[in-house]
Structure 1
């Protein structure tokens, strides 16, 4: 298995762990009422802290992965990206953005059909999570099967 395949698997698993851990941490803090100002504050806090937590955790996991990879395989990670790497990244980003845009449109559509605002936030958060997973799976697929 190549470095890129291993990295996409680690990215996929870490995205699940980060999102799951954060949701388990935030679930007990849910205010309970549907349309109170405290609920909007909760969802705003949820999204902003999730972004920061996710970015920091992904950076730390990437550094740890690189160190462990170097120790176990005795070789350096690739220092440059060739045409294949760039093409795989572009396809993964395209698929990831496509999933997020569909989620965004569904979230806005939930407001049109008079759903609670919480539904919009939940759809946005879940579509962001699924788009992250889609990007990792797309990278793994294209490194494994080719472009």
Structure 2
């Protein structure tokens, strides 16, 4: 298994773990009361902002740990450049992830058009971001295994 495949698998697993752990951490903090209160908007705004920051920092730390672990266990150097195949696979993964996120964004705005509670919009938006990240990692892994 190549370095890129292992990196895609680690990215996929870490994304699922980070999102699940953060949701389990934030779920008990969900405010009671009215669905459209200022406290509810504060909760969802902080949920998205902190999840974004937490995910970025956790992914950076996990990537560094993975690189160190890979270097120690295999005694191989980590590839220091991307060739055209790596760039093409990255672009395809980004395209697919972007499509998933934009679709989720449109569904979340559609939920507002059909007078759903604003919480539905936030949940759809957060879920689409998570699914976009997972789908991008899966696309990357698929193309490294099967080719372009």
TM > 0.5: yes
Which residue of the partner structure matches residue 129 of structure 1? 130
Secondary structure, aligned partner of 1:108: helix
Report the RMSD for the aligned CA atoms in angstroms.
Answer: 0.4
Structure 2 length normalisation: TM-score?
0.99
Which residue of the partner structure matches residue 24 of structure 2? 24
Work out whether 1:46 is the aligned partner of 2:47: yes
Structure 1 length normalisation: TM-score?
0.99
User: What are the within-5 Å matches in structure 2 for residues 69-88 of structure 1?
Assistant: 69-88=70-89
| Cα deviation, residue 32, structure 1 | 1.9
Work out whether 1:116 is the aligned partner of 2:117: yes
User: What are the within-5 Å matches in structure 2 for residues 102-113 of structure 1?
Assistant: 102-113=103-114
Equivalent pairs counted in the alignment come to: 147
Q: Deviations over 1:13-33 (max 9, x none)?
A: 000000000001100100023
Secondary structure, aligned partner of 1:75: coil
| Cα deviation, residue 117, structure 1 | 0.1
| Cα deviation, residue 114, structure 1 | 0.2
Structure 2: unaligned runs, 5 residues or longer? none
| Cα deviation, residue 35, structure 1 | 1.1
